[in-house]
Amino acid sequence: MRDGLGPARVRLRGGPVLAELESRFGAGARAKVLAGEVVAADGAVVTETTVAPAGAHVYLYRELRDEVPVPFDLPVLHRDDDLVVVDKPHFLATMPRGRHVAQTALVRLRRELDLPELAPAHRLDRLTAGVLVFTTRREVRGAYQRLFADGAVRKTYLARAGVDQGLALPTVVRSRIVKRRGQLQAVEEPGEPNAVTLVEHCGDGLYRLTPSTGRTHQLRVHMAALGVPILGDPLYPDIVDVAPDDFADPLRLLAHRMEFPDPRTGRRREFVSGRAL
């Protein structure tokens, strides 16, 4: 771990490793190899003459690009030996991906709390704010991640959207949602439903959303399908180009409350966001 970041894992096409890394990452890759900073999966240092088969992996620390700072705080709601729970702001990604690396909740917390093994138990979309749970140690990570994977966590979201007087609420929305690699939007398709959301109107354009599944962009897709898309959504129903330094119009979606039985102690855990919509 270096300054909150672990090395990147690179899957190789096969052949001389240095030539492939240079073709993919530029001249800087040669300097990393010569400095002994690229290693194979078994820990062997990659040299100028190393040859690897297709599908092998090497590890190296990437050079970070300049990122637009996300100008919002990341309050800690709870911390103990197993968990760190935060109130994530809008626009901050959960963990490194694509152009968002240092400006992520995971890297910020590793640096600020000096917890190199910190890892997310689940994810929130970059544009969604609210309760986000991390595990502090590798040996407890699996137990909490399984809770989320198995649907044993009750999540309640709040959202702001327009009001359709003809829309009968509460209602349970069931559909099949598919998110394909390379496409910004998830889509609803015919077939067996894999996404279920209870939608309730609390009045004055405030909605309570209770998902019983966790498909990508599920709440945003379901609200748009009902004809009341969430305010500030740059993807649904239509894609809107937003500058990376434009923080003026956040998605009005908040992971407000989270409840689950602790897999290590058996006691009930409950965390509530302090953010307003």
Asked if residue 19 has pLDDT above 80, the reply is yes
Q: Which pair of structure tokens corresponds to residue 168? A: 């009968």
- Answer yes or no: are the C-beta atoms of 253 and 221 closer than 8 Å: no
pLDDT at 62: 77
8-14 mean pLDDT: 93
- Answer yes or no: are the C-beta atoms of 70 and 99 closer than 8 Å: no
SS3 28: helix
Categorize the per-residue pLDDT at 2 as very low, low, confident or very high, splitting at 50, 70 and 90: confident
Measure Cα distances from 232 to 75, 205, 273 in Å. Answer: 23, 13, 20
Measure Cα distances from 27 to 21, 32, 46, 63 in Å. Answer: 9, 9, 16, 12
Dist. CA 20–CA 53, nearest whole Å: 12
pLDDT at 263: 96
Q: Which of 82, 87, 125, 233 is catalytic?
A: 125
Range with the poorest average pLDDT among 79-88, 94-103, 116-125, 173-182: 94-103
Asked if residue 100 has pLDDT above 90, the reply is no
pLDDT tens readout for residues 57-84: 999 987 778 899 999 999 999 999 999 9
Domain that holds residue 25: 8-60
pLDDT at 66: 85
Mean pLDDT of all residues in the chain? 95
Dist. CA 109–CA 104, nearest whole Å: 9
In a domain, 16, yes or no: yes
- Answer yes or no: are the C-beta atoms of 176 and 216 closer than 8 Å: no
- Answer yes or no: are the C-beta atoms of 226 and 202 closer than 8 Å: no
Q: Which pair of structure tokens corresponds to residue 121? A: 């138990």
Q: Which pair of structure tokens corresponds to residue 194? A: 């894999």
Q: The whole model's pTM is what?
A: 0.87
248-263 mean pLDDT: 97
Dist. CA 267–CA 261, nearest whole Å: 6
pLDDT tens readout for residues 162-213: 999 999 999 999 999 999 999 999 999 999 999 999 999 999 999 999 999 9
In a domain, 22, yes or no: yes
pLDDT at 4: 82
pLDDT at 242: 94
SS3 223: helix
80 in active site:
no
Asked if residue 27 has pLDDT above 80, the reply is yes
In a domain, 38, yes or no: yes
Where would I find the beta strands (DSSP E) of 3-105? Answer: 8-11, 15-16, 39-40, 51-52, 57-60, 76-79, 83-88
pLDDT at 104: 96
Asked if residue 8 has pLDDT above 90, the reply is no
Report the domain count for the chain. 1
In a domain, 219, yes or no: no
Polymer length of the chain? 277
SS3 184: coil
- Answer yes or no: are the C-beta atoms of 196 and 173 closer than 8 Å: yes
Asked if residue 25 has pLDDT above 90, the reply is no
> Which residues, in sequence order, are CB contacts of 63 under 8 Å at separation 6+?
28
**Quick one: what percent of the chain has pLDDT higher than 90?**
90
**Quick one: what percent of the chain has pLDDT higher than 70?**
100
Going by the DSSP 8-state scheme, the letter that residue 161 receives in this structure is B
- Answer yes or no: are the C-beta atoms of 197 and 222 closer than 8 Å: yes
Smallest Cα–Cα separation from 9: which of 55, 57, 53?
57
Categorize the per-residue pLDDT at 236 as very low, low, confident or very high, splitting at 50, 70 and 90: very high
Asked if residue 55 has pLDDT above 80, the reply is yes
In a domain, 245, yes or no: no
Dist. CA 104–CA 273, nearest whole Å: 18
In a domain, 146, yes or no: no
> Which residues, in sequence order, are CB contacts of 26 under 8 Å at separation 6+?
none
